[in-house]
Amino acid sequence: MPFMIGRAPIRRTIKYLEAGKLVLKDKIKIVTVNYNTYGQTHRGTYDFVFWYLPQIQYKNPQVQIATLKNMTPTPFVRCFYDTGEQMLIDTYDRSKEEIYDHLIQVVGKTKDVLEAEAIAKEKKDNPANFGKGCERHCICEIPGQLPCPGICPVPKEWRGKYKYNKIVE
Amino acid sequence: MLKLTPNLRLLSKHDATNFTKFESVRFRRRKPISLGTAKSKLFKIPPRPSQSEEEKLELQRLHNNYRTQMKSLRYYFIVNHSAEFAEASEDPEESRRVFEEDLKRCTSINEKWNEKQREIREKAISKQQENDIIAALEKVELEKKKIKEMKENIEEIVRKEKEQSKTFITAENIDAAIEQALANPVDYNFALISSGEKILGRDNIPGRDKNKASMNQ
C-alpha cells in the first residue's frame, strides 16, 4: 500500500508504532478483541482497535491478535496465556484511552521489568563487536584500522592477482 | 585463453598450480529470451518425468529422516547455545510461582474493573428499557388517537350519506322520477357574448326554476 493512502496513514509510521506503551507479558500468546462496528457503547473499543492495535502488534510481533466483529452484544478483550489461563476484560462504554491504560496495567509488562530488560539487552552488546545490529557496521570505521578494499583498494603487492600472476603494468 | 567451465577461465595455459590463475567470466553467452522458441523445437513435447512408486517412497523416507535429524540438531544447538534459553534456565518452580502471583494480582485488578463495568452496563440497560417502555406507551397512545379519529371520520361520512339517502331514487319512486324527468327536459346549452356574459339555455334554463329541474338528477 502506498504510504499516504487510506485512513490515518500516520498509524503506519515507525515513529507512531514505536511510541506504543503496551508490551504484553511473555506468557500471553493470543489476544482477541470482540466488538461491533456500530453502537455508541462499542465506539471506544472500535477506536482502540483503529488507533492502538497497530502499535500493540508492532511491539508484540510474537502475539497473535484477532478481531471478531459484529458477533457480540457487548465489547470485550480476551487474552490467552500459554499456561491455559485467560483474562477477560470488559470494555463496555469505555474510551480507547481508558481501555489502553487498563490493559497496560493488567496484561502489560510493568515499567520496572521493561527497564530491566532494556538494560540487560544493552549489556549483551559488546562494544568491540561490529556488523549488523551493532554500534558500527565495519571495523574500518575505527581510526587506525585498514579501510575497506571496496572504498580504498589495498596495495597491489598485497593482492593475489598481482602477487602470483606477476602481472606488470 | 582457455575456457574451463561456462563461468571459469584459466589465465595461463602452462601454470595451473593454484587457483589464483582462474578468472571468473561475468557474462555467459546465451541466446536472449526474446528470440523465443526455435522453429524446430516449437512443437516438441518433452516426455513427463516419471518416478516409480517405490523410488518415491524411498526418497520420501530419506527426506523425512533428514528433516527429523536436522530439526533435532537445530533444537539441540538452540537449547545449548542460545543466550535466550540460557537466561530462561532458572528454576521452573520459582518462575511458575512468580507468574501465578502476578496473575493473581492482575486478575484481582481486572475483576474490580469488570465489576464496575457490570454496574455501568446494568444501569445503562435498565435506563434503556425504561425509555423503551415510555416510547412504546406513547406509541400506543398515538395509535389509539389515530383509530379514534378515523372512526369519527367514518361516522361523519355515514351521517352525510344517510342525510342524502332521503333524495335517492329507489324502486318505489322510480316511476315518478322518470315521469318528472321526462316532463322537465333540461337544456345545458349556453352562449357567450363578447363581454364574457354567459347566456344559458334555449327553452328550459337549468336553475331558473328549482322545482322543475333538480341538479341532483
DSSP-assigned beta bridge partners for residue B116? none
Q: Which three cell numbers stand for residue B152?
A: 369519527
Of residues A43 and A123, more confidently modeled: A43
Retrieve residue A91's grid coordinates.
Answer: 470494555
pLDDT at A160: 84
The shortest C-alpha distance from B139 to chain A (Å) reads: 24
At B22, give phi and psi (nearest 5°).
-95, 150
Strand partners, A90: A76
Place of cell 334555449: B202
Contacts of A76 (CB under 8 A, 6+ apart): A33, A34, A88, A89, A90, A91, A92
Interface ipTM > 0.90: no
Q: How far apart are CA B152 and CA B145, in angstroms?
A: 11
Cell, residue A144: 587506525
- The Cα of A5 is separated from the nearest Cα of chain B by a number of Å equal to 37
Assign 3-state DSSP to chain B and report helix, strand, coil percentages, each to 5: 60, 5, 35
A81 reaches B (C-beta below 8 A): yes
Cα A104 to Cα A20: distance, rounded to the nearest angstrom: 10
Question: Can you give the pLDDT at residue B5?
Answer: 61
Residues 114-143 of A with CB under 8 A from B: 120, 124
Query: Which residues from A are below 8 Å from B19, CB to CB?
Result: none
User: Would you state the pLDDT for residue A35?
Assistant: 97
Q: Locate the chain A residue with the closest alpha carbon to B105.
A: A106
Beta carbons of A90 and B114 less than 8 Å apart: yes
Query: Can you name the residues that pair with A35 across neighbouring β-strands?
Result: A69
CB contact under 8 A, B106 and A107: yes
Residue among A86, A109, A22 nearest B110 (CA): A86
Q: What is the rounded average pLDDT of the residues A149-169?
A: 81
Nearest to A114 by CA among A12, A18, A23: A23
Cβ of residue A42 closer than 8 Å to a chain B Cβ: no
Beta bridge partners of A130: A136
Would strands A86-90 and B8-10 be described as parallel, antiparallel, or unpaired? unpaired
Please report which helix (H) or strand (E) contains residue A90, including its range.
Answer: strand A86-90
For residue A77, the distance in angstroms to the closest alpha carbon of chain B comes to 11
Chain A nearest-CA residue for B18: A164
| Opening angle at CA A102, ends A96 and A104, nearest 5 | 100
Mean pLDDT by 10 residues, chain B (217 residues): 60 62 71 89 93 96 97 88 66 88 95 96 96 97 97 96 89 90 82 86 61 44
Domains of chain A: 9-116 (3.40.30.10)
For residue A168, what pLDDT is reported? 60
Rounded to the nearest angstrom, the gap between the alpha carbon of residue B66 and the centroid of all alpha carbons in its chain is 49
The verdict on A27 touching B (C-beta cutoff 8 Å) is yes
Which residues in chain B touch residue A163, judged by CB atoms under 8 angstroms apart? 20
Q: What percent of chain A has pLDDT over 90?
A: 63
Taking 70 as the threshold, does the pLDDT of residue A118 lie above it? Answer: yes
Are B212 and B184 spatial neighbours (Cβ–Cβ below 8 Å)?
yes
Most B CBs within 10 Å, among A106, A124, A156, A166, to test the B interface: A106
CB contact under 8 A, A164 and B113: no
CA–chain centroid gap for A53, Å, is: 12
A90: cell is: 470488559
What's the rounded mean pLDDT across residues A140-152? 87
pLDDT at B206: 60
Per-residue DSSP letter, B135: H
Q: How far apart are CA A79 and CA B100, in angstroms?
A: 15
- Residues A31-51: what's their mean pLDDT? 96
Q: What is the pLDDT of residue B212?
A: 45
Cα distance between residue B185 and residue B6, in whole Å? 124
**Backbone phi, then psi, for A68, in 5-degree steps?**
-115, 110
Name every chain A residue with its beta carbon within 8 A of the beta carbon of B87. Answer: 120
What is the secondary structure of B121-174 as a DSSP string? HHHHHHHHHHHHHHHHHHHHHHHHHHHHHHHHHHHHHHHHHHHHGGG---TTTH
Distance CA A108, CA A31 (A): 12
Higher pLDDT, A100 or A5: A100
Q: Residue B185 in 3-state DSSP?
A: coil
Q: Looking at residue A120, what is its pLDDT?
A: 78
DSSP one-letter string for B26-57: S------GGG-S-GGGTT--PPPP---HHHHH
Q: Rounded distance, CA B113 to CA B107, Å?
A: 10
| Per-residue pLDDT at A102 exceeds 80 | yes
Q: Closest partner residue to A87 among B99, B107, B118, by Cβ?
A: B107
Using the structure block, give the residue that is written with the C-alpha cell 533435532: B72
Instruction: Tell whether A95 is within 8 A of chain B (Cβ).
Output: no
Strands (E) in chain A, as ranges, are 28-35, 64-69, 76-81, 86-90
Q: Which residues of B touch A81 (CB under 8 A)?
A: 103
Selection from A131-135, A146-150, B124-128 with the highest mean pLDDT? B124-128
Using the Cβ of B108 and the Cβ atoms of chain A, whether some distance falls under 8 Å is answered with no
Residues in chain B: 217
